[in-house]
Amino acid sequence: MTVDGFEALDRVSLARLGREWMLFGHLYDRALMPQVALRLGMDEITRVAIAEWQGASPNYTRRMRRLMGIDGDGASAICKALQLDVGFPHEYMDVGYRIRDENHAEFWLKHCGALIDVEPQGEQMVVNMCVHIEDPTFDATAVATNPRAQIRPIHRPPRTPADRVPHCHWTLTIDPQNPPVVQDPLTTQVGELDLTAVSNQRPPDAEPGGLTDYSGPFDPDFRLEDLSHGALVAALREFAIQCQLLSAAAGLFLRECHDPALVAEVQAAQWEGACWVAAGRIATLLDVAGDLDGILTVLACHPGLPPGIDRSVTRVDERHATVVFAGDLLDPDAPGWLGLLATGEPSAVRAIAQAVEPRAHVSADRVARGHVAFMIDVDPDRAPVEEPPTVALTRLSTAADWTFRT
């Protein structure tokens, strides 16, 4: 059995799983910020939020454009990329679009899950997210398509009145007279990572139907169900890469300001909280049992484990299995979660396993450069573990219990 077993799912199941993988981009963030606040200080939240999205999103936008055949440098190309960005998971960030022409467009959020998360924390937190973070990161995302694109608000939170809908409304304008956005040095640094260059070829379609790419006209009602089987498989891999690049960007930024060992602790705690919550959601979606088979199924369908790495599972017996990760990307000096995995950090694998079966135990078995193995055993007589504090902090987000309509 390979840990990439999600490829065997049918189109409908892949689309449903894809929404979970997009939502993981928000669980990722909600798991990180409490750790940053607790260990590095509240003032770092805004700085790291800007850095991670500014460093990662232009790079993964370029990747998604290549994969999906999104050509051109106009408004429709920018909006297509936003529809395939983990920053805008479908429904949780319920976005409407209007293309006026290739130099002018609008988009608005009928529902913004991120806003619902921060509004109870007070107006200053809303301003931090919707003004101080959004202004540089929206333009940074657009620069991957056109450096003279500007995204500006018609209105945005703090909401007046308090129940205002849509939550925010933005214009997208491309003007040759606009000063070009200059790529941030961190974006260049992330762009030079081996992870950013990982190959992701669309596999052959395992069943008929759907678009093999998004080279056609912009569809304001685009859904993952519109894609073919092979395109969905490749898109899901990209969603996972997007999250890994966000983690790498955050790691690079934090290492410049803080002790690398402390940064590793922050990101390991984040990885644990996000992976646990996502694993529980995926286990429910796939209706798996709380046993070793269920654990292996969720491991195969979880976005928190790095793509671009050979992954395999050896089933020893009904209670024991070995999960192996191998490849050149496993470098202990790599920023973010990849570097953690390369050292044998068990946070992610353990969190996924115990979210499915609380009696599971996970330990690093063999760790060498380019090769990490974890032992998983499930003992029905073992006392179930309690959810760690990292999970409780992640569950403060509405994303943890979000229910998709589809």
Q: What is the pLDDT of residue 358?
A: 97
266-304 in b/e form (b: 16+ CB < 10 A) is bbbbbbbbbbbbbbbbbbebbebebbbbbbbbbbbbbbb
Three-state DSSP class for residue 222: coil
With cut-offs at 50, 70 and 90, classify the pLDDT of residue 25: very high
Q: What is the mean pLDDT of residues 192-217?
A: 97
Determine phi and psi for 232, rounding to 5 degrees: -65, -45
**So what's the pLDDT on residue 366?**
85
CA dist 79 and 81 (Å) reads 5
Structure tokens at 281: 């959601």
pLDDT at 1: 36
For the cut 90, the answer to whether the pLDDT of residue 132 exceeds it is yes
Q: Looking at residue 139, what is its pLDDT?
A: 86
Radius of gyration of the chain (CA): 20
pTM, two decimal places:
0.96
Alpha helices by DSSP H, listed for 301-346, are 337-342
Written as six digits, the tokens of 203 are 């596999």
The pLDDT value given to residue 143: 84
Q: What is the pLDDT of residue 175?
A: 95
| Averaged pLDDT for residues 366-374 | 91
List pLDDT tens digits, range 137-167: 988 888 889 999 999 999 999 999 999 999 9
pLDDT at 3 over 50: no
Give pLDDT tens digits for 274-328: 999 999 999 999 999 999 999 999 999 999 988 889 989 999 998 999 999 999 9
CA angle, 248 then 251 then 252, to 5°: 85
Judged on CB neighbours under 10 Å (0-12, 13-18, 19+), 322 is middle
Q: How confident is the model at residue 385 (pLDDT cuts 50, 70, 90)?
A: very high
Q: What is the pLDDT of residue 307?
A: 85
Residue 229: pLDDT over 50: yes
Where do the DSSP E strands lie in 247-317? 310-315
Q: What does the pLDDT average to over 235-243?
A: 97
Structure tokens, 321: 């299995």
Mean pLDDT of the chain: 95
Structural domain spans, the chain: 42-195+202-223
